[in-house]
Amino acid sequence: MTGMLARWSPRAWARSLWQHLVKSHTSPGRLALAVAVGIFIGHLPIIPFHFFATVIVCWIFRLNTATTYLAANVSNPFLLPFLVFGSVQAGHLLLEGSFLPVGVAQLAEEGPKRFFSALLLGSVVQGALLGGFLGALTYVVLRRRRRGRPPEPIEVAMDDVASRYARGRRAAYHYVRSKLRTDPVARAVAERAPAGGDVIDLGCGRGQTAVLLAVLDPTRRVRGIDWDETKLGDARDAAAGLSATFERADVREAQLPPASCDALLVLDVLHYLPKATQDEVLARACRAIRPGGTLLVREMDDARGWRSWATRAEERVFTTLRFNRGERLVFRPAAELVALCEQEGLEVTVEPMWGSTPFANVLVEARRPTTG
């Protein structure tokens, strides 16, 4: 696949859209909130704008868009007359202290201004009450159903990983737990890494992804590399009893012998290095991949417009606050990384890996073919 084609794949785009609209924010609490907000929006007398209102509100408050929009369709042709009737009556009761008598003459006497005032107030009140009720009902039903559902193996493994960090520093525990829950990259890596074999996590940080891979498949030999001794300490404590080691090294000098590993992760690290060094580290990483093995690189794609801008701003704030020890931030179009991996004989795909954030992170998956 060429760099340009790899950068925009309709399949990856459709998958990401599906993930964003349907699969994200699906905990019982978030879905219940989506139902409540959707019902509320559906009540507002702005029918042509329900869709846009839904998209904007879901983006701001991180709600499941499909559920919210479905709930907003409470104002469908069958229910709309009842909703309007109920809203007008509720509004009239609040404004005038009485229900609106039903009849054409009474409506004419009421006048459009008082009618629409009653409709507006009533739709807000009725929408909030009905939304609150149906949201609460959704929560109760989902909690009951999920209690009976066996968790997926990856969910069990993530809980196990988080609980391993609970033995150490509280800050590391909370970071890892939230990172595993909210960042799609750990699940994506777990789905793409080959079974067994040697795994290297370059710039592993607190090591949660490395530990997750070791928990999911104890036959893997996992090696994490970072230069931050505090984070490495968290990783070592969490990896007790697993086939995972963590060593202090600069990724620019780390030992990556040719054909030495089956999976190599470089997640959110390259942009701390100058461009030429990125190329050099990436080329060594490619050569370290055995036939059938996979290199997984997550980076910000600097060719994604406003998303790229938002990522740059966020990284600058974090680096300034010294959460990440990095000398500089060098972001570049993902197509450049793709081209480099392809030069090294790997087959590459790129897909969005920004979850529900406004950032421009992508996952570059580069596989070394088993033959040739």
d(CA 300, CA 342): 19
Mapped onto helix, strand or coil, the DSSP state of residue 248 is: strand
Give whichever of 100 and 186 is closer to ligand SAM, judged by the CB atom.
Answer: 186
Q: Which is nearer to ligand SAM, 146 or 252 (CB)?
A: 252
Span between the terminal Cα atoms of the chain, in Å: 16
Q: Encoding tokens for residue 45?
A: 């007398």
In the complex, the residues that contact ligand SAM under the rule CB under 6 A are 203-205, 209, 226-228, 231, 250-252, 267-269, 272, 324-326
Q: Residue 350 or residue 353: which is nearer to ligand SAM going by CB?
A: 353
CB of 353 closer than 8 Å to CB of 184: yes
Closest CB to ligand SAM among residues 45, 326: 326
Q: SS3 of 295, please? A: strand
* Shortest reach from residue 202's CB to ligand SAM, in Å: 8
- Closest contact distance (angstroms) between CB of 204 and ligand SAM is 5
In whole angstroms, give the CA distance from residue 284 to residue 278.
Answer: 10
Sheet holding 361-367, edge to edge: 244-248, 221-226, 198-202, 261-267, 289-300, 361-367, 347-352
Question: Between residues 67 and 311, which has the closer beta carbon with respect to ligand SAM?
Answer: 311
Taking alpha carbons only, the member of 217, 281, 204, 306 closest to residue 246 is: 204
Q: Shortest distance, CB of residue 263 to ligand SAM, whole angstroms? A: 14
Running DSSP on this structure, what letter comes out for residue 194? P
Nearer to ligand SAM, 3 or 205 (CB): 205
Q: Work out how close the CB of 317 gets to ligand SAM at its nearest, in angstroms, rounded to a whole number.
A: 13
Of the pair 138, 361, the CB lying nearest ligand SAM is at 361
C-alpha distance from residue 250 to each of 127, 255, 289, 319, 353 (Å) = 57, 10, 20, 18, 26
CB of 93 to ligand SAM, least distance (A): 56
Q: Which residue is nearest to ligand SAM (CB)?
A: 205
- Shortest Cβ distance from residue 153 to ligand SAM (Å)? 21
Cβ atoms 180, 208 nearer than 8 A: yes
Per the DSSP assignment, residues forming a β-bridge with 362 are 299, 352
Smallest gap from Cβ 179 to ligand SAM, in A, equals 6
Residue 225 and residue 247 in contact, taking contact as beta carbons nearer than 8 Å: yes
